[in-house]
Structure 1
């Protein structure tokens, strides 16, 4: 009879888990031996850090729709998982964490590496349990998987060292024992038909309907498109919904919020009716004022409905299923002037982006990097991003088309996921090109370490060899630097914000990868072509100007006052930022002038 650890891995393969990310330690010795005996199914993918293992598990869940899995040793290894698990928790992704613990006989003795794991994981997981006896392994695995899938949240199973190595026995047929089964089906969640009729009435009355969608609309592309057409609406996308709808549709206004587009801002602020589908976009300042717009929201999670904007109708249900019920009740709007306005704003915004990308900077404008990539993106690319100023260019410039996939840390907005997301995506889809946008802060923090993981597993990834890590080098924790100025009114603190130069391309070449360094806007197009033609992983190091501000689509007076106060305090980059900011806003203003005046 196999050991408990062997049984757990076998049970997980029955649930469709074939890859587990982790890092070894003696607290999971039983599982390490079981992985060896499993013969590669499930496979153990050794990352450079447990945090990155959890990020990869989260990314696997996001890109495949399956449960992602990670494993860590007791004590410090378990602690390291937390950030990646919180990323999954806040973005509603099913992830299983398997964690070791000291032997049962030592628990409560303040033993080495003994920590209260239940308390540690209580907030981040929907379900956390110890396996204290071999027969419990069966129902614990089954319950954890069913919970992860049903609640779309992380779960955690804790295995003391001695339990891992005990012989597995099936639960006895007696009182107190539980016998469970593998299996789960996605439920149909539909709102009350009367509420659907109420929603249709609200939407049919609206003259200027704005739609905002998120990752919950990912499986409702056709339904969202049809509803938007009937309503004459435009569609803005929260960051997690970037790949929910193609940006090639003329009424898709792109991102919203601080990283958003002027087209999204004008549409939402000019709307008299708001339809939210599968999103929990949290920033009220980028939504209409209360009472300005009637509201209808569709969300599969009743806990998240009506908590971002006061809604008139709350439809708890699956996005696609609910829209299919709603669409037959919608009356096509004959007045298409609102739709024409939105499409004009989208076209204008695309010209603004192109104009801004061409602005000169020292040594290079970061926007030109994204602009030139967008022209060359393969239609089946998978795009990942870190959190930082580069995220703004990723959100605005890279347009979704074909069957592209894209994701990042949405709600937690943590640094670091750009690289591990890309690695997990490439392992799941070795036949597809994968491109990551990463800041030099995140790359030097932990991201560059995972290039060793790529080197180790490259043979499993290279059906299509295109894997590009784009590192934006400005020697500044740029997003926080701007937030200091705009939100706090403080000048940049050089001691906290400036970081050492990272020779990313040189580092890539040390590993046998292609390393490309580009600091010229005249050469970035050729750099992208070289990167996308390489036969091995690529690190594209782009040296960009930290003084190019990630301008919001609408600058509020309070933001201007605080920025001015920061400049008056002697911010060393004040002049450069002011010049770049003026040029960026001038490009936006000139595109709204008549054509003759623009010339």
Structure 2
């Protein structure tokens, strides 16, 4: 039987080890869609997952790559479908994930003639993809597919293959041995890159010379957990994980101080202030203000992304390589530290920090459930090998502060892009990859309203295919785009503006019930534990609609002068939640004593008023002349 280009592409994708693709149909990709259906009927196809939107398909492909280590594949039609995938592909680009997108295009003869849905897709994808190519003849199909997969794997970036509609149906035969025709290899490249022995020796010498060594571990160290722990043991090092590296180092490791920065812990901040040696492993941690002062620490960085070496801190040694392979070469060269006081100090700090996080979770607020309580109770109940996703926004704060991933658990989010709504496609993709595991999606109501609600429909469609049906969605329901509201206050000194920040309320539990799922409402703090017990006892989909306070501050481990001043500015400008913010910020600091927050807010208020008087030029205080003389 004759083979056309679409049939060959499907077969070649399978040869690259892909068994599942995420797609949305359309006439621009119609022949490939038809052949996917034909191959499925023959038992020779790919598992085709069709969510409710092309953006979701690209995010699911990215999540699949993150959770499995395989190449993610998404498929869409020409112009509108292709454009919708961009956000998910940027997520893959910015979090260094191999994804191949296959998109349709109008027929070859129509290119450049302004016909319906014909656009310059190569130009559109040029910024997001490491490789973009239109297949213009059957002879080109093999080399383009192979190059897309190989480049995505080696560059850890998305690649895009554009298939014009007529080319999809052209006859295909193996490329001949002739000029201008490439006969390409479908063999996957090795990424176990390691440097010369001399570079490994330099790295070992730097670590051995350090007295206060800290490892900063990112998602790029996935698969190297044992090597990271052994190297840290020998070096007497403390370990910090970037938010996306949380799954790499088990939470039961006592000298793992979790995250760094606004979403991080005080022990991690203390490490960065006190270390004399910094080892960055598979991380592009972007917040340089939290890293050691220049000249404070000798630093080494290891990463497969060569262009991301040495761009966050003045590192002394930059090693292009795979974290696992590099550490396997370095570990025999490391000397066992006998003085473990630095590492033990990190462990003691984490005991205190965990106690503070527990105390913060047990506080009560006047306008709703404490969101920290929900995450604390969730963490207490996570079963073995659970997978947890979180969204951009305050759910990322609570995830960073309260979720502790034990060995074997997985967790992830949209990292550097930090796009809203990713938690739902991430969780759904994780469930497809590991259908026997419990998956928990934590998401804000704003993100859930974007496209998250739609994905409950996708779950309903595919639920019967999963080995176990347990899938839990925990919604932080506060009718507010909370993270942005706090960023307006703390970064720009602006009050909350309801016109942009309010989220229309709805009964999310009732929506879940409409689809045949279990819906649970949590309106009181002491209901959180029971709701989660009920969810984990249910072999099915559960949506927990938690009515949480909108004024609980996502407080960093250290309140900076800028944070305090800007918050005071926002309140003095007439923030509609002023009383709630002041009251709940004070409550949030109760476990440490009120002096910290009171001092910060008084500092901010005094500095703001002093600046205002100076600007007035007459020493006259006009800062309270609005909003009823407040």
Same fold (TM over 0.5): yes
Is 1:432 the counterpart of 2:437? The answer is yes
- In structure 2, the residue matched to 1:34 is 35
With structure 1 as the length reference, what TM-score do the two structures score? Answer: 0.96
- In structure 1, the residue matched to 2:458 is 453
- Deviation of 1:151 after TM superposition, in Å, equals 1.2
- Deviation of 1:208 after TM superposition, in Å, equals 1.4
- In structure 2, the residue matched to 1:179 is 183
- In structure 1, the residue matched to 2:364 is 360
- In structure 2, the residue matched to 1:148 is 152
Counterparts of residues 279-318 of structure 1 (less than 5 Å): 279-318=283-322
Counterparts of residues 175-254 of structure 1 (less than 5 Å): 175-254=179-258
- Deviation of 1:590 after TM superposition, in Å, equals 9.2
Q: Is the 8 A contact 2:251 2:407 kept in 1?
A: no
- In structure 2, the residue matched to 1:342 is 346
Residues in 2 aligned to 1:543 and 1:209: alpha-carbon distance in whole angstroms: 43
Is 1:408 the counterpart of 2:413? The answer is yes
Q: Which moved more, 1:104-113 or 1:186-195?
A: 186-195
- 1:551 match: secondary structure: coil
- In structure 1, the residue matched to 2:3 is 2
- Deviation of 1:591 after TM superposition, in Å, equals 13
Q: Deviations over 1:42-77 (max 9, x none)?
A: 122111000000000001111111111111111111
Q: Is the 8 A contact 2:155 2:305 kept in 1?
A: no
- Deviation of 1:198 after TM superposition, in Å, equals 2.2
1:386 to 361, 386, 391: 391
Measured at CA, do residues 246 and 33 of structure 1 come closer, stay the same or move farther in structure 2, by a change above 3 Å? Answer: same
Residues in 2 aligned to 1:591 and 1:568: alpha-carbon distance in whole angstroms: 20
Residues in 1 aligned to 2:286 and 2:455: alpha-carbon distance in whole angstroms: 32
Q: Is the 8 A contact 1:352 1:591 kept in 2?
A: no
- Deviation of 1:197 after TM superposition, in Å, equals 2.1
Residues in 1 aligned to 2:327 and 2:506: alpha-carbon distance in whole angstroms: 49
- In structure 2, the residue matched to 1:124 is 128
Q: Which moved more, 1:295-304 or 1:513-522?
A: 295-304
- In structure 2, the residue matched to 1:23 is 24
- 2:564 match: secondary structure: helix
Q: Is the 8 A contact 1:299 1:319 kept in 2?
A: yes
- In structure 2, the residue matched to 1:499 is 503
- 1:413 match: secondary structure: coil
Residues in 2 aligned to 1:446 and 1:301: alpha-carbon distance in whole angstroms: 32
Q: Is the 8 A contact 1:348 1:591 kept in 2?
A: no
Residues in 1 aligned to 2:594 and 2:574: alpha-carbon distance in whole angstroms: 31
Residues in 2 aligned to 1:549 and 1:104: alpha-carbon distance in whole angstroms: 56
- In structure 2, the residue matched to 1:370 is 375
- In structure 2, the residue matched to 1:550 is 554
- Deviation of 1:589 after TM superposition, in Å, equals 5.2
Residues in 2 aligned to 1:194 and 1:579: alpha-carbon distance in whole angstroms: 58
Residues in 2 aligned to 1:203 and 1:585: alpha-carbon distance in whole angstroms: 38
Residues in 1 aligned to 2:318 and 2:363: alpha-carbon distance in whole angstroms: 45
Residues in 2 aligned to 1:171 and 1:188: alpha-carbon distance in whole angstroms: 31
Q: Which moved more, 1:210-219 or 1:191-200?
A: 191-200
Counterparts of residues 71-82 of structure 1 (less than 5 Å): 71-82=75-86
Q: Which moved more, 1:247-256 or 1:131-140?
A: 131-140
- 1:199 match: secondary structure: helix
Q: Deviations over 1:382-423 (max 9, x none)?
A: 111110101111122111113001110011111111000111
- In structure 1, the residue matched to 2:611 is none
Q: Which moved more, 1:12-21 or 1:123-132?
A: 12-21
Q: Which moved more, 1:417-426 or 1:220-229?
A: 220-229
Residues in 1 aligned to 2:197 and 2:448: alpha-carbon distance in whole angstroms: 50
2:330 to 313, 326, 331: 326
Structure 2 unaligned segments of length 5 or more: list them: 597-630
Q: Is the 8 A contact 2:265 2:353 kept in 1?
A: yes
- Deviation of 1:302 after TM superposition, in Å, equals 2.0
- In structure 2, the residue matched to 1:596 is none
Q: Deviations over 1:204-255 (max 9, x none)?
A: 2222111110011111111111121122211010011010010111100001
Q: Is the 8 A contact 1:440 1:502 kept in 2?
A: no
Structure 1 unaligned segments of length 5 or more: list them: 593-599
Counterparts of residues 19-98 of structure 1 (less than 5 Å): 19-39=20-40, 41-98=45-102
Q: Is the 8 A contact 1:444 1:502 kept in 2?
A: no
The runs of at least 4 consecutive aligned structure 1 residues that moved more than 3 Å come to: 588-592
2:281 to 277, 299, 322: 277
- In structure 2, the residue matched to 1:466 is 470
Q: Is the 8 A contact 2:249 2:407 kept in 1?
A: no
With structure 2 as the length reference, what TM-score do the two structures score? Answer: 0.92
Q: Is the 8 A contact 1:381 1:432 kept in 2?
A: yes
Residues in 1 aligned to 2:188 and 2:24: alpha-carbon distance in whole angstroms: 29
Q: Is the 8 A contact 1:473 1:502 kept in 2?
A: no
Residues in 1 aligned to 2:588 and 2:407: alpha-carbon distance in whole angstroms: 30
Residues in 1 aligned to 2:590 and 2:331: alpha-carbon distance in whole angstroms: 41
1:528 to 520, 529, 532: 532
Residues in 1 aligned to 2:490 and 2:555: alpha-carbon distance in whole angstroms: 11
Q: Which moved more, 1:32-41 or 1:181-190?
A: 181-190
- 1:523 match: secondary structure: helix
- In structure 2, the residue matched to 1:597 is none
Q: Is the 8 A contact 2:513 2:519 kept in 1?
A: yes
- RMSD over equivalenced CA pairs, Å: 1.5
Measured at CA, do residues 414 and 191 of structure 1 come closer, stay the same or move farther in structure 2, by a change above 3 Å? Answer: same
- 1:340 match: secondary structure: helix
- In structure 2, the residue matched to 1:582 is 586
1:477 to 471, 481, 487: 481
